[in-house]
Structure 1
Amino acid sequence: MDVVCGNCSTKIKIPDEKIKKIPPGQTFGIACPKCKNKISVENKPAAAPEKPAAKPASTPPPKPEKSEPPPKADKSPPPPEPPAGEESGGGGDGGDEGFSGNPFEFLEEGTKTALICEGDAGARAKIKAALTELKYHSSESSTHRDALRQMRFHDFDLIILNERFGTRDPDMNHVLKHLEQLPMVTRRNMFIALLSERFRTMDNMMAFNKSVNIVINVKDINDIEKILSRGINENDAFFRVYKELLKKLKG
């Protein structure tokens, strides 16, 4: 299915296998990969196939008076079977190799989503448990490339990023560099928490310096639910008037 973004006129192709997962007549939302505009798409039910027209009856051909027996076909060996592991049509590479689907594309509108960028399994489990208590649907990234790919297809409400995720130099974090370049209209709707070994929790000066909403020291990982809840509530209160005014202007 092809969809055109109403904001930037970008043409987006949605794989047919994704459409088949949606019940007919149901509407789902996707994000434009170029301008991040949210697009609502309806899976229209397929029209019933038309019955083929009945073939006109044909009269049998007249029988020939005499017919010679057909010549015997030469017996030839069957064509060799392809080697094991190969299929006719060539190519063992799948068309979707390396494709990472969007795990949130079929969620209802208004559902809060979060992305976890943390290499330590123990810390990642504590973060995921905290996000569940805060009513977030979370996704985990194994590498910085996977994180960037997920952010390309979905605008997350919350991103929890360790400053050393995917890098040895915390000042050269690829994910953080990408977030710094986001358009302001997209960045305002996103809450970014930076996990750090260098800075203290709730250090507002360093949060401003790193272009994030909050800094959390890794030693306070056990209290991350309370810290996130406080930071998100303060951020929502700060931008409430701005968002309400922006909503009225858009109509």
Structure 2
Amino acid sequence: MAALVGLSTASVYPESTAHAFGYAASLGYDAVEVMVGIDALSQQVAAVKQLSVHHEIPICAIHAPCLLITQRVWGTDPWEKLRRSAEMAHEVGADVVVVHPPFRWQKEYARDFVAGIADLEAETGIAFAVENMYPWRASKKRGLEVYLPGWDPSEETYANTTIDLSHAATAQSDPVAMAKRLRDRLRHLHLTDGMGSAKDEHLVPGRGNQPVAELLHHLADTGFAGHIVLEINTRRSGSTQARTDDLAASLEFARRHFVPAEQRNDRE
């Protein structure tokens, strides 16, 4: 099965979830990842399903509401949020739920997180792809560890994981090395870029200093068949046309570099 190249609804913020489906369909993306967030529409299974049907584009993943700004979306029980995310995934035909590791202050949730994720996967049949995060830091040198059991999913026993290249940039970690450690446990990719600053930048691929093309080459060469989802920040695009251009450039980058070595050599 070939990897799908999808668009995260977060990529069009502050425009809505509905706009994201429109962009994805018109630009030729294969699928959409729905970020369950403060946009009320993103929380409604029936509405999300109708958008998929209307635009004739599948939903590949649901991103659970685990950001600081979504702490009260779908209640405050983190396990209930994950169960509802799995229910939405089932209803809309997605096979992955993207989830962040717990914050350090969520001690009870964190204590059983690794085993709890495995139990949820067995119970729901949905892959819960735990995402790499990063230390919070005010400068390049000093960081605060805010995730438990840790920000690097390759150090745990998760069956399914997500690599986000902007998070890797902020953590100053090597995403290619992480992918090699994860091997077939890597199920999902948030394709983006960063400059290694303390800020989680989510740049258009190729506009930062991360080994984005190299990671896509590695995944193509090793038969990756998961999801490649563009999750970029277009809040400062300035206009609808500029946002469209950024989303189109991101898709073109993914298509150009996610090809195996023999095809890359043929182009040279």
TM bin (shorter chain):
0.3 to 0.5
TM-score (norm. length: structure 2): 0.31
Higher helix share: 2
For the pair shown, the structure with the greater C-alpha radius of gyration is: 1
TM-score (norm. length: structure 1): 0.32
